[in-house]
């Protein structure tokens, strides 16, 4: 009898969740106020990190900016301070666990408890697997995935003590489905997605309803990170590289609406679902038609040419 009651309740929850999602698709969701919150952003010196900083500043959040590039991080800080918020910068390599923990302690002592954590830092090796130095492969896994563990362990305890906070994981559509020649990136982003989803479930199991999570999975963003990546030209206009500002603005809408996951653009939900529902060969046939199976080859070639030209100059 208990099982039947639980099954009925589950079906009611399922129906409510589906209907709520459908309604929110057509109606503008209520956005929360984050004025005065303390937001930490990793990779704040990069294109997306800088835009995230400015968008959070526009909402009145005070900022803690982390990046391994001091100059780029300070440039972001200057722009954010013009919007009238407090900004604190720290030079941190998020792959160094002890450095993350020590700097986190410094942030708590100097600034206060972080209530919004945006794990944005990301890298890609840009080499084919057998041509890629092990150090570059390791760095992709460390920055894109392992660092999420250190960052979360550093800042989640304070969120849990207040049952208040928000953790944002900037992953990728390539954490939901794959393409060739970027094994390091796909593996690390799949790991990021798995980490984020398991963490979300843990918070739910602990009844930490005040701590929200948002998983961001964008298509290729035109930041230069995947410069040269191209799908079939006949369909390129349907799925062009995303503009960085658009990507961040769509992400912010999801964050402020406490949306658990967003794929940008929404077309990215299709290959995500197809991967689970269709046979492997059916998905491969689609990838080949779209040019997705070889889309990274021009990008890899550009990286090789840059490294070759750099080697010549240094010689």
Which residues belong to the active site? 185
Name the 3-class secondary structure at 94. Answer: coil
Helix ranges (H only) for 206-279 are 233-236, 244-256, 269-277
Q: What DSSP state is assigned to residue 223? A: S
C-alpha distances out from residue 36 to 55, 154, 169, Å: 14, 21, 21
Question: Do the Cβ atoms of 62 and 39 come closer than 8 Å?
Answer: yes
SS3 state at 7: helix
Residue 27, φ and ψ in degrees, nearest 5: -110, 145
Number of H helices, E strands in the chain: 12, 7
What is residue 20's three-state secondary structure? helix
Q: What are phi and psi of 263, to 5 degrees?
A: -105, 135
DSSP of 135-159: HHHHHHHIIIIIHHHHHHHHHHHHH
């Amino acid at each position: 009898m208990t099982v039947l009651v639980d099954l009925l309740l589950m079906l009611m929850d399922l129906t409510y969740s589906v209907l709520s999602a459908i309604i929110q698709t057509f109606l503008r969701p209520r956005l929360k106020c984050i004025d005065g919150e303390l937001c930490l952003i990793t990779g704040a010196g990069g294109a997306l990190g800088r835009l995230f900083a400015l968008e959070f500043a526009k909402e009145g959040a005070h900022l803690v900016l982390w990046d391994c590039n001091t100059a780029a991080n300070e440039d972001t800080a200057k722009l954010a301070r013009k919007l009238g918020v407090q900004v604190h910068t720290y030079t941190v390599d998020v792959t160094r666990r002890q450095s993350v923990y020590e700097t986190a302690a410094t942030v708590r002592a100097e600034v206060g408890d972080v209530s919004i954590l945006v794990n944005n830092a990301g890298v890609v090796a840009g080499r084919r697997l057998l041509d890629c130095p092990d150090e570059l492969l390791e760095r992709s896994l460390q920055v894109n995935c392992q660092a999420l563990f250190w960052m979360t362990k550093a800042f989640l305890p304070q969120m849990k003590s207040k049952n208040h906070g928000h953790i944002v994981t900037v992953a990728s559509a390539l954490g939901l489905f794959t393409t060739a020649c970027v094994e390091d990136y796909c593996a690390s982003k799949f790991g990021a997605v798995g980490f984020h989803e398991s963490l979300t479930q843990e918070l739910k199991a602990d009844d930490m309803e005040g701590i929200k999570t948002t998983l961001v999975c964008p298509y290729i963003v035109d930041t230069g990170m995947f410069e040269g990546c191209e799908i079939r030209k006949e369909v390129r206009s349907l799925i062009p590289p995303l503009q960085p500002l658009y990507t961040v603005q769509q992400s912010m809408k999801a964050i402020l609406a406490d949306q658990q996951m967003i794929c940008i653009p929404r077309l990215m939900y299709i290959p995500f679902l197809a991967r689970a529902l269709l046979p492997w060969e059916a998905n491969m046939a689609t990838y080949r038609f779209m040019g997705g199976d070889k889309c990274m080859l021009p990008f890899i070639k550009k990286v090789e040419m840059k490294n070759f030209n750099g080697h010549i100059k240094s010689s």
